[in-house]
Amino acid sequence: MIENIVHTTLFYLFAAFAVLCALAMVSTHRILRAALYLMGVLGASAAFYVLLGAEFLAGVQILVYVGGIVILLVFAVMLTSSNNLIEEKPSLLRKLVALILSASFFGISSGIFLGATFNVSSRLSGASSEKIQDTTAAIGRALLDQGEKGYVLPFEIISLLLLSALIGGIVIARKTQPEGGK
């Protein structure tokens, strides 16, 4: 089953890439590089989505995440650290604590995952098993459907969220000197 082999190989390749990018992202001292590595992780994630059969999501991931959010983050970096793009190192203690915590989280959770039995759908025996074929259309319909399977409500809620984030962002970031300060 060559498909499977490709699938698996891709999985491990992208996984390795994503993990390396992620590690690089959290350990680099240059914040802009971190943004770049983040982009790598997110890109790899898009690939994961494709592997998982969520092509639409992969597109969204590339467009919104890589194209939007990371750019925004880069702007943020520019706006906030114009004169020191190189970050100082965190203290050893903090690194140690973080290492212990994240490692134990990883250890415990992956232990649980490996030991857990999932109610894996029987229809899913291979990558090409039957599933909703046109996910893009299905998602589009679902987002505006008011019925049983519809997501119009969270969709509207998220629009309110984005709106208020927008308004808030403007209010906060607007360049005015606060009154009465020092």
Partner 1 sequence: MDQTMELGFALKNAWLILALPFFSFLIVGLFIRPLSKRAAGIVATLAIFLTACFAYRLAYEYFFTLPGALEGIHKAFVPWSVEWLRYQENMVVSLGILTDPISVMLMVVVTTVSSLVHLYSTGYLHGEDGYGRYFTYLNLFTFSMLGLVTAPNIVQMFVCWELVGASSFLLIGYYYDRPSAVAAAKKAFIVTRFADLGFLIGMLILGFFGFQFFGELPASVTQGLQPFDFMFLTHPEVGAKFLAQGGSFLGISLVTLSMILIYMGAAGKSAMFPLHIWLPDAMEGPTPVSALIHAATMVVAGVYLVARMFPVFAVSGDALLVVAYVGAFTCLFAALIGCTQDDIKRVLAFSTLSQLGYMMFALGVSSFENPLGYTASMFHLFTHAFFKALLFLGAGSVIHAVHSNSIWDMGGLRKKMPVTHVTFLIATLAISGIFPLSGFFSKDEILSAALESGHTNIFVVGLVVAGMTAFYMSRVYFVTFWGKHRTEGAHHAHESPPVMLIPLIILAVFSIFSGFIPFAHFVSLPSPHGGEGAAHGGIDLAVALPSTAVALLGIGLAAFFYSGDTSRIEALSKSLGVIYTTIKNKFYIDEVYLFVTHKIIFRFIAAPIAWFDRNVVDGGVNLSAWGTRKAGSGLSRTQTGQVQTYGSWFVSGVLGILLVLWILSFERH
Partner 2 sequence: MGENLVSFLEKTPDVSHWLVLSSLLFSIGLYGLLTRRNAVGILMSVELLLNSGALNFILFNRFISPGNIDGQVMSIFVIAIAAAEVVVGMAIFVALFQQRKTVDVTQMNMMKG
Partner 3 sequence: MFTLILPELIVILTAFLILGVDLFVSEKNRVVLAPLTLVGLGAATAAIFFQMPEAGALFGGRFAVDSVTWWFKFLFILSTGITIALSLDMLDGRKVLENAQTPRLRFRGEYYTILLFTLSGMMFLVSARDLITLYVSLELATIPLFVLASWKRDGNAGEAGLKYVIMGALASALLLYGFSLLYGLTGQTDLHAISQGLTPSPLLWLAVALIVSGIGFKMTIVPFHFWAAEVYQGAPTPITAYLSVASKGAGLALMFQLFFRVFGGFFKDWQIAIAVFAALTMTLGNLGAIVQNNIKRFMAFSAISQAGYMIMGFLGPQKESIASMIFYMWVYVITNLAVFGVIIFHSNQTGKEEITDYRGLAQTNPLMALGMMLGLFGLAGIPPLSGFVGKFFLFSIASATGFHWLVAVAAVNSTISLYYYLRIVRQMYIEPPAAGAKALEVSPVLGFTVTTTVLASVALGVFPFFYNIVNAQTSGWMSLFVK
Q: What is the contact surface with partner 1 in residues (CB under 8 A)?
A: 94, 97-98, 101-102, 104-105, 108
- As measured in angstroms, the least distance from the Cβ of 87 to partner 1 is 13
Considering only 5, 112, 122, 130, the residue that binds partner 3 (CB under 8 A) is 112
Q: Which residue type does 69 have?
A: I
Strand partners of residue 86: 30
Residue 54: name its binding partner from partner 3, partner 1, partner 2, none (Cβ under 5 to 8 Å by kind). Answer: partner 2
Residue written as token pair 């939007």: 68
**Of residues 4-43, those binding partner 2 (CB under 8 A):** 4-5, 7-9, 11-12, 15, 18-19, 22-23, 25-26, 31, 34-35, 38, 41-42
Residue 128: name its binding partner from partner 2, partner 1, partner 3, none (Cβ under 5 to 8 Å by kind). Answer: none
> Residue 42, class by beta-carbon neighbours within 10 Å (0-12 exposed, 13-18 middle, 19+ buried)?
buried
- Contact yes or no for 44/21 (Cβ under 8 A): yes
**Of residues 145-174, those binding partner 2 (CB under 8 A):** 149, 151, 154, 158, 161-162, 165-166, 168-173
- 108-123 per-residue burial string, b: 16 or more CB within 10 A, e: under 16: eeeeeeeeeeeeeeee
